[in-house]
Every structure is written in C-alpha cells, then in structure tokens.
Structure 1
Amino acid sequence: MTLPTLATQTFTITRADLVRYAAASGDHNPIHQDESVATSVGLPGVIAHGMYTMALAARAVQAWYPGAEVVSFGCKFTNPVVVPAEGGVELEVAGEVKPSGDGLTTVVLTVTCEGQKVLGMPRAVLREAGRA
C-alpha cells in the first residue's frame, strides 16, 4: 500500500544559522562552529545541531498541517549534517501520511542531506485543528 505523500520541503542551513541556533539554545559545543575542533574529534567538518535539524523537520510538519496539535514528535540522530564554511547545505524533508482511525494523523518523515538520511525513524503524530 502506498501512503499519501506530502510535498518535499527544502531548507538551506548555513554556518550563520548554526551561530544563531547556538545563541538561542545555549548549545555552544565548538563542533557546531569550529572546523578544527570538529575534525579533531573525527567529524568531517562543522555539523548542524541535531536538535536544529529536528526543528526544521518540525517546521515542515507545521507547514503541512498549520494549526494542528502535535501529540508527539520524535526521531533518532543517525548521520551528521555537514555545513560548509561558504554557502550552505540543503536539508530535504518529505512526508507520508499514515492512516489512523482514532482522530490522529501520523506523518512518517524522510529527512535527507545530500541524498543521505540524517534522521532515523522521524515521525509526528498530530491532532488536526477542530478534531476531538
């Protein structure tokens, strides 16, 4: 059975975004801003905060279902999103709607960067506005 799909949304992540997210979240781990620190611990370069990546996926869900109540939202962080010093990197969020008879809508997400899944088992469970 093929699930109904939602239009893929693309978000560009830049190093400036990481600086702003660090300030907002209080997560100043240097792997998110300093190339030499990131590579010294075995990373391929500066990486986006996992929670920022998850927040962008949640932003996609909000755009698909404005006004819906989020009952649950979760994922696993499976691969880093490497953000280049110049320009940015694109994060793509796709969704499939899983039918439910209990008044809830489950959106199974696929979150990728450069063709690689970066979040494992991402899904949102929603109660659409006006539904009990």
Structure 2
Amino acid sequence: MTFAEFATEYRTADGEHVLSEYATAIETDGAATDTAANAGSTTAVGGREDDRTESPRDANTADDLVGLPVRSGIDVGTAVPEPSDPLRLAEGDVGPTVTVGPFARQDFVRYAGASGDFNPIHYDEPFATVAGHRGVFGQGMLTAGVAAHAVTDFVGVDRVRSFGVRFRSRVWPGDTVTARTVVADDDCVLDVSVERERDGETVLTGTATVGERQ
C-alpha cells in the first residue's frame, strides 16, 4: 500500500497566501476487503505460520458505503441552537446527541490520512486478521472525535478547558454510534459516552471540564 500526500497553495497575483489544500492518495495492490482469496491460506507471522481466515461478514458490514452522515439530534431544516452557557447548567442537564455512521472501511482510510495514524490494522484487512482481529476497525481517536463533537455542540468549543476519554470497545465497519453528554455536577464537569447502535454497547466514556468563554 502506497500513500501520496499532495499540497496545493492558492495565492493572489501579488503572491499573498489565501488557502492551502491537502489531499492523500492511496494505492493498493488489491482491495483491502478482498479477504476471500486469502481464506485458508497460510502466512508466516513473527517466524511462525498462522492460518489466515476471512473476516466475518454480516448485515452490519458496509463495504460500499462512503462518507459519514451526521445527525445532531435536531430535525432537518431546524436552526442549530446556540451552545449552552456552562455557568447556567445544573447537574443532570442533557446535551444534544450526535449520531455518526454507518462507518465504512473507506472512512478509516480517510482518517488515517487526516490524522497520520497509519497502523494497518485500521485499513488492511489481511493484516488485521493475521494480527488476530476479526477485521479492520476504527481508530480510537476517530471515536473520540465523535464524543468531542457532542461536547462542543453542547457548550461550544471555546468553553472547553479539558477533555479526556477512555476506550471501552471497538467500532467496526457498518457500525453507527451515538454520543451523549450530561452535566455530572455543579462544577462544570460533563460526562460523555459513545454507544454502538446495533447492540447498545458503550465504546467510549469520558469527561470534559468547561467554563467561561475564552
């Protein structure tokens, strides 16, 4: 697999920089999802032979989907409300939900290019299965980004003082996830969680400390 990064700069006639655009092109010898041809074959891993099997495929697999539809708990056509003032929030107040998905393998590849996380377990199906995983899965920071989206929708990005998460489970191709936030106490601390829709499992938990606008 080969990655090529392209940078394009746009300047005025006077040479003043206006805009930079970046793109990542990815070239492979074969589709990352073509594991059937490798099913039952034997590959040497770390000096030993390991049976390579095809990743399980079911209704939750989304090979042909591209892009991540985002739903922020607001009806289509409705204006997005202003972020809440953290100093006026009370314990138990709930923020808007953010739903993202279904994820496709292409989305994990795009995130690899955007973030620089090129660990092949996130985009190379044969590599992931040989490494002992059922298949490729999403980067943890991609899921954390969904959680951060919910936090900033609730209070605004300029009011976030700190943000931390703990990864509980993985996000697979075909999964749709929903992030929720709730005020944990009167000291401007928010609890955030991300759940997988198909089985309700929590894949991420975290907290955010918020305050006055900076």
Please report the TM-score for the alignment, with normalisation by the length of structure 2: 0.52
Q: In the alignment, is the contact (CA less than 8 A) between 1:98 and 1:107 conserved in 2? A: yes
* Cα-to-partner distance string for 1:16-67 (whole Å, 9 max, x where unaligned): 2211111111111111112222222222221100011101110111111224
Residue of structure 2 equivalent to 1:78 = 168
One-letter amino acid of the structure 2 residue matched with residue 112 of structure 1:
E
Structure 1 pair 75–67 and aligned structure 2 pair: CA distance change class (3 A):
closer
What percent identity do the matched residue pairs reach? 36
Question: What is residue 201 of structure 2 aligned with on the other side?
Answer: 116
Alignment of 1:41-56 (within 5 A): 41-56=131-146
1:58 partner letter = A
Aligned equivalents of 1:128 and 1:39: distance in 2? 47
Kindly report which structure 2 residues correspond to 1:32-43, keeping only aligned pairs within 5 A, or say none.
Answer: 32-43=122-133
Greater helix content: 1
Amino acid of the residue matched to residue 117 of structure 1? T
Q: Which amino acid aligns with 2:190?
A: V
Tell me which residue corresponds to 1:7.
96
Q: Which runs of 5+ in 2 are unaligned?
A: 1-90
Structure 2 CA distance for aligned equivalents of residues 129 and 74 of structure 1: 19
* Conserved 8 A contact 1:9-1:60: yes
- 1:6 partner SS: coil
Deviation, 1:110, is 1.7
Contact 1:8/1:93 (<8 A) preserved:
yes
Counterparts of 1:11 and 1:128 in 2: how far apart (Å)? 28
Give how far 1:111 is off: 0.9
Q: Answer yes or no: is the 8 Å Cα contact 1:67–1:128 preserved in 2.
A: no
Higher strand share: 1
> Quick one: distance in 2 between partners of 1:67 and 1:38?
35
Matching residue of 1:95: 181
* Greater C-alpha radius of gyration: 2
How many residue pairs match? The answer is: 121
SS in 1 for 2:141: helix
Higher relative contact order (CA 8 A, sep 6+): 1
What's the TM-score once normalised by structure 1's chain length? 0.80
**C-alpha contact 2:96 2:153 (8 A) present in aligned 1:** no
CA gap 1:100/1:16 in 2 versus in 1, 3 angstroms: same
